[in-house]
């Protein structure tokens, strides 16, 4: 049913003329909203958008590390080398594909929000729950877009045809963030689902904490991180278990994308060396290879085989069924630590060290007892780099803190901290021209 609804929704899923607008099967879209079973299947179709190959199915996760100092391109795909060198062109397949897949997922979400308004057979709580989950998804989609591309077209209604009125200009970064916050506040008030493979109140709060930190609102970031940590303070006892193939994701994981043999990702294939059946497109840099050997995270971040280092966080080469974690409790400790550092690093030093040592303890490392022996900012930065290696977060951290120029040798100009607007968008959207391209491209 999930795949059927994915195909069904495709005919309203395209965001611009360069995407496929043709129906995929001869069935009225209205039938998808004719009963509860079909509405729920349509919701699954919206979550399925996260699994697209240029999204959490592969490339967003890889790009989030390979653009940074975490990993290096070591395979055959030239587009990854361009990201690794931070020398992107507007027609790079990753620049184009990530934009297209996120807008495809966005349009599914907007279409379902649009159709839910006329659904009368759901209870008020059921409808609000679905609307909350969808607005969480929309916030996540726009959060990824605005961090990668800057201001983007802010579509809040579905694209139903290839007509001029459906083409929008770029909205400012501030306007996009205002919508993200509004969607997440709605989600927090209305979601009743509690399963982490879909949006929950805690997931919405965790995402809001990350959004607020990115916006520079340290007080609000800390408040939201505190809410999550008060409700879910425990970390998984074993770091390795976070990335196991067990059906139980554990209490640390707040939101993840499930995959299966029929809905697979190719992260293991792209990380593993060729001698083990992979492609080794995305390899750990020396910064990860040189992690302390006593660090229990190292075997998952940088293990070796026949002289090739690779990550084993995604290890299911056979079926591609590894879950992709989007939000987990450990990140809230880092958000709170960074927010406390920004608010008053001296006064908040004990709390900052406590949060970092919570993470280090699971890794089997000795606690840091004083911030006088190490820069607190660099400590937070380095610990998060190791903790979330190969989870696609490092690039976003470096552009948020404006540290990319300092730490990534191939980033020498501020403009490189944004991707270019895709060439296909400029060519197809009458409201976005060459003059609207990000500076430097």
Task: Write the pLDDT tens digit of every residue in 21-38.
Answer: 333 333 466 677 889 999
Q: What is the pLDDT of residue 246?
A: 74
> Is the predicted pLDDT of residue 12 greater than 90, yes or no?
no
Residues with Cβ within 8 Å of residue 308, at least 6 apart in sequence: 273, 274, 275, 280, 283
Question: Rounded mean pLDDT of the chain?
Answer: 92
CA-CA distance, 439 to 441, in Å (whole number)? 6
> Is the predicted pLDDT of residue 262 greater than 80, yes or no?
yes
Within-domain flag for 369: no
Q: What is the pLDDT of residue 20?
A: 35
CA-CA distance, 42 to 107, in Å (whole number)? 13
Rounded to 5 degrees, what angle do the CA atoms 190, 143, 428 make? 115
Query: Is 292 in contact with 365 (CB distance < 8 Å)?
Result: yes
> Is the predicted pLDDT of residue 16 greater than 60, yes or no?
no
**Domain boundaries, position 187:** 1-193+411-441
Q: What is the pLDDT of residue 247?
A: 74
What percent of the chain is predicted at pLDDT more than 70?
Answer: 92
Q: Are residues 179 and 314 in the same domain?
A: no
Within-domain flag for 161: yes
> Is the predicted pLDDT of residue 3 greater than 80, yes or no?
no
Residue 9, Cβ neighbours under 10 Å: how many?
25
Residue 369, Cβ neighbours under 10 Å: how many?
9
Within-domain flag for 387: no
Within-domain flag for 416: yes
Q: What is the pLDDT of residue 373?
A: 56
Q: Are residues 177 and 290 in the same domain?
A: no
Q: Are residues 188 and 265 in the same domain?
A: no
Within-domain flag for 330: no
**Of 90, 83, 50, which Cα lies nearest the Cα of 67?**
83
Within-domain flag for 403: no
CA-CA distance, 412 to 98, in Å (whole number)? 24
Q: Are residues 22 and 141 in the same domain?
A: yes
**Tokens 């083409």, residue located:** 167
Q: Are residues 176 and 270 in the same domain?
A: no
Query: Is 402 in contact with 395 (CB distance < 8 Å)?
Result: no
Q: Are residues 45 and 186 in the same domain?
A: yes
Mean pLDDT over 327-351 rounds to 96
CA-CA distance, 300 to 67, in Å (whole number)? 20
Residues with Cβ within 8 Å of residue 194, at least 6 apart in sequence: 200
Q: Are residues 189 and 264 in the same domain?
A: no
Within-domain flag for 311: yes
302: left (phi over 0), alpha (psi -120 to 50) or beta: beta
Q: What is the pLDDT of residue 31?
A: 77
Confidence of residue 286 (pLDDT cuts 50, 70, 90): very high
Mean pLDDT over 274-303 rounds to 97
Q: What is the pLDDT of residue 47?
A: 98
> Is the predicted pLDDT of residue 375 greater than 80, yes or no?
yes
Using one digit for the tens of pLDDT, what is the confidence trace for 203-257? Answer: 999 999 999 999 999 999 999 999 999 999 999 999 999 998 777 899 999 999 9
Query: Is 209 in contact with 335 (CB distance < 8 Å)?
Result: yes
Q: Are residues 186 and 284 in the same domain?
A: no
DSSP character string of 49-109: GGGSTTTTTTHHHHHHHHTTTSEEE-SS-HHHHHHHTT---TT-HHHHHHHHHHHHHHHHH
Note the helical H segments in 201-289: 201-215, 218-231, 267-271, 286-289
Mean pLDDT over 121-143 rounds to 98
Q: Are residues 288 and 170 in the same domain?
A: no
Q: Are residues 288 and 139 in the same domain?
A: no
Cα separations (Å) of 45 from 2, 83, 160, 240? 6, 30, 17, 30
Q: What is the pLDDT of residue 189?
A: 98
Q: What is the pLDDT of residue 337?
A: 97
pTM: 0.94
Angle of helix 329-344 versus helix 218-231 axis, rounded to 10: 140
Q: What is the pLDDT of residue 372?
A: 65
Question: Residue 144: which CATH number?
Answer: 1.25.40.390
In eight-state DSSP terms, residue 170 is P
In total, how many domains does the chain have?
2
């Amino acid at each position: 049913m999930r795949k059927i609804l994915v195909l069904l929704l495709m005919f309203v899923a395209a965001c611009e003329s360069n995407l496929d607008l043709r129906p995929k099967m001869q069935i009225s879209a209205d039938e998808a909203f004719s009963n509860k079973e079909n509405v729920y299947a349509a919701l699954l179709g919206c979550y399925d958008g996260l699994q697209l190959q240029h999204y959490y199915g592969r490339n967003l996760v890889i790009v989030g590390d390979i653009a940074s100092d975490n990993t290096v391109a070591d395979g055959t795909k030239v587009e990854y080398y361009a990201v690794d060198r931070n020398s992107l062109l507007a027609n790079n397949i990753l620049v184009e594909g990530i934009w297209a897949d996120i807008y495809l997922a966005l349009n599914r979400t907007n279409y379902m929000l649009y159709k839910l308004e006329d659904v009368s057979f759901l209870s008020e709580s059921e409808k609000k729950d679905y609307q909350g989950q969808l607005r969480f998804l929309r916030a996540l989609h726009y959060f990824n877009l605005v961090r990668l591309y800057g201001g983007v077209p802010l579509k809040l209604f579905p694209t139903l045809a290839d007509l001029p009125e459906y083409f929008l200009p770029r909205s400012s970064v501030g306007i996009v963030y205002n919508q993200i916050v509004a969607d997440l506040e709605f989600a927090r008030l209305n979601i009743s689902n509690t399963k982490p493979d879909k949006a929950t109140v805690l997931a919405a709060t965790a995402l809001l904490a990350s959004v607020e930190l990115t916006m520079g609102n340290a007080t609000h970031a800390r408040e939201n991180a505190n809410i999550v940590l008060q409700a879910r303070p425990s970390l998984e006892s074993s770091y390795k278990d976070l990335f196991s193939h067990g059906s139980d994701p554990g209490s640390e994981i707040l939101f993840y994308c499930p995959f299966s043999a029929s809905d697979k990702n190719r992260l293991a294939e792209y990380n593993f060396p060729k001698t083990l059946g992979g492609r080794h497109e995305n390899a750990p840099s020396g910064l990860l290879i040189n992690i302390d050997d006593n660090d229990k995270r190292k075997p998952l971040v940088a293990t070796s085989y026949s002289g090739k280092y690779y990550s084993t966080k995604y290890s299911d080469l056979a079926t591609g069924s590894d879950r992709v974690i989007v939000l987990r409790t450990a990140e809230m400790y880092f958000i709170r630590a960074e927010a406390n550092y920004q608010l008053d690093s001296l006064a908040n030093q004990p709390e900052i060290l406590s949060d970092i040592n919570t993470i280090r303890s699971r890794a089997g490392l000795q606690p840091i007892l004083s911030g006088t022996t190490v820069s607190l900012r660099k400590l937070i930065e380095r610990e998060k780099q190791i903790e979330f290696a190969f989870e696609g977060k490092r690039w976003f951290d470096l552009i948020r803190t404006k540290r990319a120029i300092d730490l990534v040798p191939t980033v020498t100009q501020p403009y490189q901290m944004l991707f270019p607007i895709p060439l296909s968008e400029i060519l197809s959207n009458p409201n976005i021209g060459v003059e609207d391209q990000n500076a430097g491209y």
